[in-house]
Amino acid sequence: MKNNKLLQIPPLPAVLLAIISVQAGAAIAKGLFPAIGPASTASLRIGLSAVILLIANRPDLRKLTKIQWKAVALYGLVLGAMNLIFYMAIKRIPLALGVTLEFIGPLLLAVINSKKMMDYLWVLLAAAGIALIAPWSEKGLDLIGVILALVAGGLWATYIVLGGRISKIMKGGDAVSVGMIFATLLVVPFGIASGGFGNLTPGLLLMGAALALLSSAIPFTLEMSALSQMPARTFSILMSLEPAVAALCGIVFLHEHLSFLEYLSVALVIIASAGATITSKKETL
């Protein structure tokens, strides 16, 4: 019993460690881009994550119903597309800005159908943040990278909706594990077509395994532990810190230093995301 207690991490540190793990994983992923490219990196991350999660959770595929298969297939395809497009985005723009732009999707989801003036304020605040980093001139950010990050944000919002629905018909661990199979089936062909796998070495494969652990297995376990010990809204507010942690990881691991306006943009989106979470309706979408 003592060992079990020692392994339990309090909810606040668990969420913070999960955020750090995800963003450190994203930094590792970007470090792999020059060698194997974003498509092969996404394939490596998702494929290895699928293997790890399937071994850890051991879902009984024979017991899945037709409705569950359809739901988890769509969930997994969206998950795969979201990760692939996000990696394509951060190849072109700094990690922190990619995460910031991606957050617009969940933010809009949080305030959709809202009639509160305060919620519209959060959208305007986030829009101001985007305006600060929009590629208005040739010296601005890569336009394609910005668009890809916003598309990834839209897919993230879709993933959240699908995740909420599938949680009602499947266990969380089973849904993610099986969903990763479909994510792998979607992404791996892009990785093969890109030719990046031809450059794999044992060292790069080891980095891929670390990426899979940091980006999926470890944060998923920590998040599930935290959610069982704290309100979902508190969890969501803490998750709003992701752009800030991404900025820190970008500096430490990738030497990506942002301009003052870009840091201000990150801060505005963090405030908007946390504010929207606090004031949004309690009803599930």
Other beta carbons less than 10 A from residue 266's beta carbon: 24
Rounded Cα–Cα distance for residues 71 and 210 (Å): 29
Contact status, residue 97 vs residue 133, Cβ threshold 8 Å: yes
Q: Which of 171, 165, 190, 229 is nearest to 53 (CA)?
A: 171
Q: Domain-by-domain residue ranges, the chain? A: 11-280
- List the structure tokens of 185: 């089936």
Residue type, 170: M
- Name the residue among 218, 280, 255 with its Cα closest to residue 96: 255
If you compute the radius of gyration of the chain from its CA atoms, what whole number of angstroms results?
Answer: 19
Report the percent of the chain where pLDDT is more than 70: 91
Query: What pTM was computed for the model?
Result: 0.87
pLDDT digits (tens, 9 = 90+) for 134-192: 665 556 678 899 999 999 999 998 998 898 888 888 887 888 899 999 999 999 999 99
Q: Please, which residues have CB within 8 angstroms of residue 147's CB and are 6 or more apart in sequence?
A: none
DSSP string for 56-84:
HH---GGG--HHHHHHHHHHHHHHHHHHH
Reduce the DSSP state of residue 247 to 3 states and report it: helix
* Contacts with 255 (C-beta within 8 Å, 6 or more apart), sequence order: none
Angstrom distance (rounded) from CA 118 to CA 92: 34
Report the distance separating Cα 118 and Cα 184, nearest Å: 40
CA distance 211 to 51: 13
User: What's the sign of the alpha-carbon dihedral 41, 34, 104, 235?
Assistant: positive
Quick: pLDDT tens for 234-276: 777 788 889 999 999 999 999 999 888 889 999 998 898 888 7
What is the pLDDT at residue 281? 58
- Check residue 113 and give its pLDDT: 65
Residues 4-49: pLDDT tens digits? 443 468 888 888 999 999 999 999 999 999 999 999 999 999 999 9
Q: Which two tokens stand for residue 172?
A: 């969380």
- Report pLDDT for 51: 94
Q: How far is CA 72 from CA 100, 159, 187, in A?
A: 27, 11, 16
Least confident of 114-123, 184-193, 195-204: 114-123
Question: Are 90 and 26 spatial neighbours (Cβ–Cβ below 8 Å)?
Answer: yes
pLDDT of residue 139: 60
Helix, strand or coil for residue 239?
Answer: helix
**43: which residues sit within 8 A by CB, 6+ positions away?**
184, 187, 188, 190, 191, 192, 197
| CA 259 – CA 142 distance, rounded (Å) | 15
Q: Phi and psi (nearest 5°) for 256?
A: -95, 100
pLDDT at 138: 53
Confidence (pLDDT) at 2: 44
Element (H, E) at 30: helix 11-57
Q: At 176, which amino acid appears? A: V
Q: What is the mean pLDDT of residues 92-110?
A: 89
